[in-house]
Amino acid sequence: MIAPAVEELGRDYQGRTRVVKLNVDENPEVTARYGIASLPTLLLFKGGRVVDQVVGAASKRVIAAHVEAQLN
């Protein structure tokens, strides 16, 4: 549902941050480690720690605002 926006953001922020997707069906240990209960869930990391998250089908604009907040 949000895959196209995430892919666009990966291109938009290339060189500034990494945007990656993870298949939770293939990586259930990650879901458990971060307590992910709803999909989609986007986790934003800084220095190896989760600093923000977006839960639910958010627009590209909303996701970009969360990313920008962490880059500044």
Taking the domains of the chain in order of start, what are their residue ranges?
A: 3-71
Q: What is the dihedral of CA 10, 46, 28, 22, to 10 degrees?
A: 10
Question: Superfamily assignment of 3-71 in CATH?
Answer: Glutaredoxin (3.40.30.10)
Question: Quick one: tokens of 26?
Answer: 């293939």
Q: Which of 16, 13, 32 is nearest to 24 (CA)?
A: 32
* pTM summary value: 0.90
Question: Quick one: tokens of 30?
Answer: 């990650």
Q: Quote the pLDDT of residue 72.
A: 83
Chain centre distance of CA 10: 10
Q: Quote the pLDDT of residue 63.
A: 97
Give 8-34 pLDDT, tens digit per residue.
999 999 999 999 999 999 999 999 999
**45 φ, ψ to 5°?**
-110, 145
Give 35-61 pLDDT, tens digit per residue.
999 999 999 999 999 999 999 999 999
